[in-house]
Structure 1
């Protein structure tokens, strides 16, 4: 079973968080809801005991960021949702725990154990600030492509495009970097991620279970 952590923070977009969570929770090797064989063990990670989303919904993370960082060697996947850009920019400028988690995961040597980081919407800003989008291709919400370019520009060259999701490939340390467009695009990116982590059949099964029509990346 692969270990997945979903990062949450005050102001996180609820569908950025809940969409990939829903898809991942239905990923099953058995392809039979009566005999589930989960692909992932999912954990919710946050800096506080209670996180308030941008929609006012409260989320109670099971694991603190400090604990998650101490257990990074056991983590296969990190999902990074987005939120209002001013909140993301503040977290980046303050070298927040959230940014430190992304940085620490991004530094792991993963060649012998493939790992994936997936950002949803403006969550790509955390990846950009951590240097994980350098010399690759990435996307975010269509309104904030220029904001992402500005952050990436301080780290090196990045090809920023408008897309449902983008597989930026595997970094030298073996980390696969996937970014998605805004909000509902996270559902498509999550399906693609499940395909990469498990199989096309498991991804199609998870999408069908939530009655979702998986859209292409462009």
Structure 2
């Protein structure tokens, strides 16, 4: 049985069990209020000058696509720690950010990387030196929020003290620094430690997005997203505890 068969089987089993156990549909009609599974999954993707295009574009597209092909809506927004404005990415892309910094209004916070190997250019190292984004990230954790990173975005989380003594991963060139700063490195494409999920490598934003789609929206949605993207997630996902979804 290949991985797509596994996802499809899991989706059927979980979906039937959920409906039977909760009676989701009838409960909503009776109360007139949305259940957590029906409320939009709120995803905030953090941007900063020097951010790597693929680091933020890949998870943005996966989450947005998952909202289209799945049964639960997904609201994906770009945010910056300095407020609305124009962000200049690593290869010259300009992104107009209109959403204010509001991690208390998010379910998932995605922190991409970029520029960690270029100390004299905009990017992760410059943001760490400035301190604004690490301070904002340090104040963000709360119950109900999952903080995630792509590539060297983990070094911003490290500067915020979020990865210390936690299983995590990052781009292979930054792994020694992440470990030296207290992270517990795992040799995996995605490391899921509950409210902290990190992904290693520039293209791992695809894996992060698909894993979080599976975890938060269900395997059927992840399968549909993979099919639409014509991409199958690669590499190992390390998790602290087995998941049924």
Offset at residue 38 of structure 1 (A): 5.1
CA distance in 2, matches of 1:146, 1:14: 24
1:15 paired to 2:54: yes
CA distance in 2, matches of 1:124, 1:159: 12
Instruction: Report if the CA contact (8 A) 1:188-1:217 is conserved.
Output: no
Partner of 2:91: 55
Partner of 1:160: 185
Partner of 1:90: 126
Offset at residue 30 of structure 1 (A): 5.5
Q: For 2:178, which of 121, 139, 148 is the aligned residue?
A: 148
Deviations 1:40-96 (A, max 9, x none): 111111235111111111111122xxx324xx3321110000001133123123212
CA distance in 2, matches of 1:29, 1:60: 23
Alignment of structure 1 residues 1-218 onto 2, 5 Å: 1-28=40-67, 31=70, 37=71, 39-46=73-80, 47=82, 49-63=85-99, 67-69=100-102, 72-85=103-116, 86=119, 87-96=123-132, 98-106=133-141, 108=142, 110=143, 114-150=144-180, 152-153=181-182, 158-167=183-192, 169-170=193-194, 176-217=195-236
Partner of 2:13: none
CA distance in 1, matches of 2:73, 2:203: 22
Query: Cα RMSD over matched residues?
Result: 1.8
Instruction: Report if the CA contact (8 A) 1:195-1:202 is conserved.
Output: yes
CA distance in 1, matches of 2:57, 2:168: 22
Instruction: Report if the CA contact (8 A) 2:69-2:224 is conserved.
Output: no
- 1:105 alignment partner, SS class: coil
Count residues with an aligned counterpart.
Answer: 191
Structure 1 residues 45 and 28, CA gap change in structure 2 (3 angstroms):
closer
Offset at residue 115 of structure 1 (A): 2.1
Provide the TM-score with structure 2 as the length reference. Answer: 0.72
Provide the TM-score with structure 1 as the length reference. Answer: 0.81
Offset at residue 199 of structure 1 (A): 0.5
CA distance in 1, matches of 2:94, 2:211: 28
CA distance in 1, matches of 2:140, 2:225: 26
Structure 1: which 5+ runs fail to align?
32-36, 171-175
Deviations 1:109-146 (A, max 9, x none): x1xxx321110000001111222112221110111111
Instruction: Report if the CA contact (8 A) 1:139-1:166 is conserved.
Output: yes
